[in-house]
Amino acid sequence: MDSPLDHPTARALLDWHIELGATEAICDQPIDRYALSSAATAQPVPDAEAAKAIAPPPAREARPDPVAEARMAAEQASTLDALRAAMAHFPHCELKRGARNLVFSDGNAQARVMIIGEAPGREEDRQGKPFVGRAGQLLDRMLDAIGLNRHAQDPSEAVYITNVLPWRPPQNRDPNAQEIAMLLPFVQRHVALIRPQVVVLMGNISCQAALGRGGITRLRGQWVDAYDTPALPMFHPAYLLRNSAAKREAWADLLELKSCLLASETEGTPHVPHR
C-alpha cells in the first residue's frame, strides 16, 4: 500500500516533472474546464421560434378612426363658426396639406335652399369660397333665372352654398370614398345647423355622399330624401360647361325647384311631387 506523500517528497516530484518539461497537471480522465465554466455561469438561450412563443406580443398602437372622430367633432359644434373651426382642426384628411384655404360656405345662412356641391376647384381654393370659378358663374346665372341669389338678404330669395369636401383635391380629381366618408359627418351637421327647406345635390359626388349611390343622369330631377330634408339632384354646372346639350334637363330641374318653393310659400311646407 502506498504511503501518503509528505510535503518535501511531493515538492521534489513536482520539481522533477518541471525539469522534464511538463507544463500542465492532468487527472486520470480529461476535464473540460470551459464547459464547466459555461454551465455554471451561462443561462440557456432559446431559439428564435421559442423566443417568439415565450415573449408577449408587442402592444399594437391603436389607430384613430377618422369617421368616428369627425362625427364627435361635428356633434360638438353648436354654431357655424364652431363647425368651421372643427373642420379646420380635423387632422386626418390629407387634402388640407395641399390646399390653400378651407372652403366652408357662401350665401345667406337663413336661406330656404341649401346647395351642396362636390369639392373646390382652383379658383375656389384661391378665394376660399365655393362656386366662384366658371362653374360658379354659370350657377349664379342659373339661380338668377328662377329668382334666387346667393347675396340676397331675403331668405325667400337667397341660397346657401357649400361642398362635400372643404379642400381642393390635387389636379381637381374626384374625391375618393375614404375622403367622402370622413367628411360626411361635417356635411350632415352643416345641414342640421342651416335647416333648409330644400337641399340641392349638385353633381354626382354630392349624390354619392348623401344617398350612397351615384349616377346623376338617372337621379337628376327626381325628389329624394337626403339629410332628413327633401332633396333634388341636379347636374353640376361644370358638367353643363362640357355638355351644353344637358342644359335642357338642367332648366327643367330649375323649374321643378322653383315650383316647389312657390308651393311652399302657400302651403307652409315644401311641396314635393312624386314622380
Q: What is the DSSP string of 133-162?
A: SHHHHHHHHHHHTTT-BTT-SSGGGBEEEE
Please state which of the ranges 29-43, 74-88, 139-153, 248-262 shows the lowest mean pLDDT. 29-43
> Domain for residue 131, yes or no?
yes
Q: Domain of 73?
A: 66-267
Q: What are phi and psi of 143, to 5 degrees?
A: -65, -40
Q: Which residues pair with 162 in a beta bridge?
A: 116
Q: Is residue 188 part of a domain?
A: yes
Distance from the first to the final alpha carbon of the chain: 126
Q: Does 20 fall in a domain? A: no
What's 127's domain CATH number? 3.40.470.10
Residue 31 lies in a domain: no
* 94 within domain boundaries: yes
State pTM to two decimals: 0.76
pLDDT at residue 273, as a whole number: 53
- Specify burial of residue 199 (Cβ count, 10 A radius: 0-12, 13-18, 19+): buried
Dihedral sign, Cα of residue 150, residue 160, residue 142, residue 237: positive
Indicate whether 50 belongs to any domain.
no
CA dist 75 and 88 (Å) reads 15
Domain annotation covers residue 37:
no
Cα–Cα dist 25/17, whole Å: 10
Q: How confident is the model at residue 30 (pLDDT cuts 50, 70, 90)?
A: low
How many domains does the chain fold into? 1
- What pLDDT shows up at residue 274? 47
- Mean pLDDT, all residues of the chain: 88
> What letter represents residue 237's amino acid?
P
Residue 7 lies in a domain: no
Q: Per DSSP, what are the bridge partners of residue 149? A: 158
